[in-house]
Amino acid sequence: MDKAITIALAGNPNAGKSTVFNNMTGARQHVGNYPGVTVERKEGGCTHNGFDVKVVDLPGTYSLTAYSIEEVIARKFLIEEQPDVVVDIIDASNLERNLYLTVQLIELGVPLVLAFNMSDVAAAQGHQFDLEKLSALLGVPIIPTTGHKNKGTAELLDAAIEVAQQTKGTNPEMVRYGQEIEQAIANVVDKLEKSNKLSYSRNRWIALKLLEGDDDVASRHLSAELRPVVEQQITEVEHKLDEALPTATASHRYGLISGVCTQCVRSTIERRHSISDAIDLVATNRFLGIPVFMGLMYLVFWLTFTVGAPLMDLLDGSFGWLAGVVDGWWAPGAESALRSLLVDGIIGGVGGVVIFLPNILLLFLAIAILEDSGYMARAAFIMDRLMHKIGLHGKSFIPMLIGFGCSVPAIMATRTLDNRRDRLVTMMVVPLMSCGARLPIYALIIPAFFPGAWHAPLLWIIYVIGIVLAILSAKLLRSTVLKGESVPFLMELPPYRMPTLKGIFIHMWGRGWLYLKKAGTIILGISILLWVMTSYPKKTEFQRDYDAEIAALQTSATTELQEEGLAEIENARMAETLSYTVAGRIGHALEPVIKPMGFDWRIGTAMIGAFAAKEVFVAQMGIVFSVGEADEDSDDLRDKLKDNYTPLIGFAIMMFSLISAPCMATIAITKRESNSWMWALFQLAGLTVLAWVVTTLIYQVGLLFGLGVV
């Protein structure tokens, strides 16, 4: 006997599916994406009664039509991968709507077990269920569970294994659609049976879907000869019923559900004001709603960046220490490519990414709490009007806000968006929210070129430009590449629930691990590449004889002068070295392209380095201007900038930094989250082109108005 079985978990969003999943699998789970699409696929496993059970968590859906990518995936999985049993998680406190999916699963004829979840909530609401009768009427076993108390999990597994071993399916003719539709189904089934060898129940399902105008099924089963038959049936039936077929069938399903519910559910007095309603009295209140939302967002920000900061410093410190240890393996001053690779390339590059881990864990802690408690839906409810105006979704607001901190967690936060298209648009425009790493650039440049009174307004203008560009880009994407939204925005506002610690930690850890593992591998590669580009080829013959100059200086001048002179010479050598490297050469080669923006090769070279992380720009500028180790407070560097560039160029640098892709981690995470290099490269190219166009425009128009002269 084969002792391995596969269970697919189906259910409505908010039915407590992930809690049941966590109960079944514990920490043994794997989060990934379905091939080629931005839909999460969670898998886990356990052993039960000697069976090796694999559990696949299907995307949460309300229905099994081809309405959304999630539904298509769930259905495809059920049909093509044929799990041994499907467990449908039902929110007992919301029975009628949850049964809609159940009825469709029954019609699909899959081996089915119902998990009657949250029966405690339903009981508190005054509902009593006759589960025996419900089970008899639906023809499927029903197991009561209480997800957050981990009750009924073992029984559920027992039942699932039992059903998996039987071959008995459900009754696909559960719903009778009335004479007209039934006749049409029979006619189409007739034709189907002549051309394929599928079972009657599968053909009935196919016929029904064809009549409902399901594109996905049509592309598989609608042959050229069948098409006119189906079309004629649809026209006839719709004429007779004076109703569109898909809504007619949906109504019939709900009709059956209502009938079943009247027989099996006894409702005592409905409690009008549950705790959940009481919370909403404040949380979505006309006047308090927005302040409460803003307050909570501030808290998320504070938790992610303020609480995270010391942890980040700690990690930064440990990487610094590690770099020091590794550095110590070589004799001081010795030239070694391996040391440079290890210290500057790998530890510096990967460390630069890993230090974001505390932020990411904390952010996902906050998001998990907001989501599991049910507040996220309220946040979207509050912000939807604003976000809808720019072609996005209420839920896009949170990632956009987080984007002001760091694009990487922001892009990961787009996972809360259910719709793939909304998610991709949000992902694409999030980098335009000016992130924390760009701040050092502004902090360096603004004081270098502009008088004090201008500082704050300028900074504000830069952030606003970012927001405006994000809005415009979102609109543009929405009306071009990611067009199409005939679907209505319907979002459930689930009752507030106490999040479970287990759920939150699994959520948080899952994200953190993903970040480390996947982004880490790509980032490691790019780090090495960037290191090579800024280190090679090595220059051996210099324009000046630095060593001789140093020697001369050491014999002639005083100690004070010596130190100053030495630094100057070393810096000049570094500048020349960088100019000779691949990055420097690219910087030179790029000059004609970046010229219209007012940039010279030095800025170009610094920008290439800045792709590792935006704040690196400052250090790189320090190197090309031979001022040594520079940070954003370096007055030397500011003087150099002031001598070499006009304020207009300064502004152009800030614009380009604002708009162009923030860092390689962002692109890597976009690749990971969108599950496609295409989108990652599209984002990179799109942002770069946009940055070039906008910066050039600003610079050229500025020149016209005579702003270019100092």
Partner 1 sequence: MAATSELSASLEDYLEAIYHLVKEKQAARVKDIAERLHVKAASVTGALRALSERELVNYTPYEIVTFTRSGEAAALDVVRRHSALKDFFVKILLVDEASADSAACAMEHSVTRPLLERFVHFTQFVEDCPRAGTKWVRGFSYYCDHDSKQDNCEKCMRTNLDEVIQKKANKGAQAMTEQQLGSLKPGQKAKIVRVALADAASRRLVEMGMTVGTMVEVIKVAPLGDPVEIKLRGYHLSVRKKEAEGIYVEQAML
Q: Facing residues of 267 across strands?
A: 127
Burial of 163 (0-12, 13-18, 19+ CB in 10 A): buried
Contact region with partner 1 (CB under 8 A), list: 384-392, 513-521, 539-547, 600-608: 384-392
Structure tokens at 510: 């899952």
Least Cβ distance, residue 230 to partner 1 (angstroms): 16
Rg (CA), the chain: 31
Give the distance, in angstroms, between the CA of residue 407 and the centroid of all CA atoms in the same chain.
11
Phi, psi of 707 (to 5 degrees): -80, -15
Least Cβ distance, residue 90 to partner 1 (angstroms): 13
Asked if residue 273 binds partner 1 (CB under 8 A), the reply is no
Contact region with partner 1 (CB under 8 A), list: 217-225, 280-288, 412-420, 677-685: 280-288
Phi, psi of 90 (to 5 degrees): -115, 130
Least Cβ distance, residue 91 to partner 1 (angstroms): 8
Asked if residue 486 binds partner 1 (CB under 8 A), the reply is yes
DSSP annotation of 568: H
Nearer to partner 1, 285 or 556 (CB): 285
Among 388, 455, 502, 585, binds partner 1 (CB under 8 A): 388
Asked if residue 517 binds partner 1 (CB under 8 A), the reply is no
Among 102, 119, 203, 284, binds partner 1 (CB under 8 A): 284
Nearer to partner 1, 180 or 600 (CB): 180
Nearer to partner 1, 99 or 206 (CB): 99
The residues near 215 (Cβ < 8 Å, ≥ 6 apart) are 66
CA distances 20 to 8, 499, 521, Å, are 12, 13, 32
How far apart are alpha carbons 675 and 629 in whole angstroms?
A: 38
How far apart are alpha carbons 221 and 214 in whole angstroms?
A: 11
Among 492, 563, 635, 639, binds partner 1 (CB under 8 A): 492
Burial of 252 (0-12, 13-18, 19+ CB in 10 A): middle
Q: Facing residues of 56 across strands?
A: 8, 43
Helix axes 439-449, 616-624, angle to 10 degrees: 50
Least Cβ distance, residue 126 to partner 1 (angstroms): 11
Name which of 522, 324, 514 is nearest 412 in CA terms.
Answer: 514
Structure tokens at 212: 């409902």
Among 22, 29, 65, 670, binds partner 1 (CB under 8 A): 65
Q: How many residues does the chain have?
A: 710
Asked if residue 97 binds partner 1 (CB under 8 A), the reply is yes
> Strand order of the sheet with strand 112-117?
29-33, 40-48, 51-57, 4-11, 85-91, 112-117, 142-144
Asked if residue 285 binds partner 1 (CB under 8 A), the reply is yes
Among 200, 489, 509, 677, binds partner 1 (CB under 8 A): 489
Asked if residue 94 binds partner 1 (CB under 8 A), the reply is yes
How far apart are alpha carbons 207 and 210 in whole angstroms?
A: 5
Asked if residue 154 binds partner 1 (CB under 8 A), the reply is no
Nearer to partner 1, 28 or 133 (CB): 133
How far apart are alpha carbons 379 and 356 in whole angstroms?
A: 26
Asked if residue 135 binds partner 1 (CB under 8 A), the reply is no
Asked if residue 380 binds partner 1 (CB under 8 A), the reply is yes
Among 149, 227, 266, 538, binds partner 1 (CB under 8 A): 266
Asked if residue 493 binds partner 1 (CB under 8 A), the reply is yes
- What would the DSSP string read from start to end of 318-358? HHHHHHHHHHTTS-TT---HHHHIIIIIIIHHHHHHHTTHH
Least Cβ distance, residue 15 to partner 1 (angstroms): 11
Torsion of CA 279, 285, 291, 293, to 10 degrees: 60
Least Cβ distance, residue 201 to partner 1 (angstroms): 19
Segment 45-64, which members bind partner 1 (CB under 8 A)?
62-63
How far apart are alpha carbons 80 and 202 in whole angstroms?
A: 13
Site residue total, partner 1 (CB under 8 A): 53
Nearer to partner 1, 4 or 281 (CB): 281
How far apart are alpha carbons 496 and 574 in whole angstroms?
A: 60
Least Cβ distance, residue 280 to partner 1 (angstroms): 8
Peptide bond into 172 cis (omega under 30): no
Least Cβ distance, residue 463 to partner 1 (angstroms): 22
Least Cβ distance, residue 691 to partner 1 (angstroms): 32
Site string for partner 1, 106-125 (x = CB under 8 A): -------------------x
Among 30, 52, 81, 96, binds partner 1 (CB under 8 A): 96
Site string for partner 1, 389-428 (x = CB under 8 A): ----------------------------------------
How far apart are alpha carbons 21 and 357 in whole angstroms?
A: 26
Asked if residue 386 binds partner 1 (CB under 8 A), the reply is yes
Asked if residue 629 binds partner 1 (CB under 8 A), the reply is no
Nearer to partner 1, 52 or 243 (CB): 243
How far apart are alpha carbons 302 and 657 in whole angstroms?
A: 25
Segment 169-198, which members bind partner 1 (CB under 8 A)?
176, 178-180
Asked if residue 282 binds partner 1 (CB under 8 A), the reply is no
* Residue labelled with tokens 């410190």: 317
The residues near 158 (Cβ < 8 Å, ≥ 6 apart) are 48, 49
Among 36, 488, 592, 706, binds partner 1 (CB under 8 A): 488
Least Cβ distance, residue 83 to partner 1 (angstroms): 23
Segment 235-264, which members bind partner 1 (CB under 8 A)?
240, 244, 246-247, 250-251, 254-255, 259, 262-263
Nearer to partner 1, 180 or 316 (CB): 180
CA angle 139, 255, 200 (to 5 degrees): 50
Beta strands 51-57 and 127-129 are unpaired
Torsion sign over Cα 210, 214, 219, 224: positive
Least Cβ distance, residue 93 to partner 1 (angstroms): 7
Among 1, 224, 490, 709, binds partner 1 (CB under 8 A): 490
| Contacts to partner 1 by CB under 8 A | 62-63, 65, 67, 93-97, 100, 125, 176, 178-180, 240, 244, 246-247, 250-251, 254-255, 259, 262-263, 266, 280, 284-287, 289-290, 377, 380-386, 388, 486-495
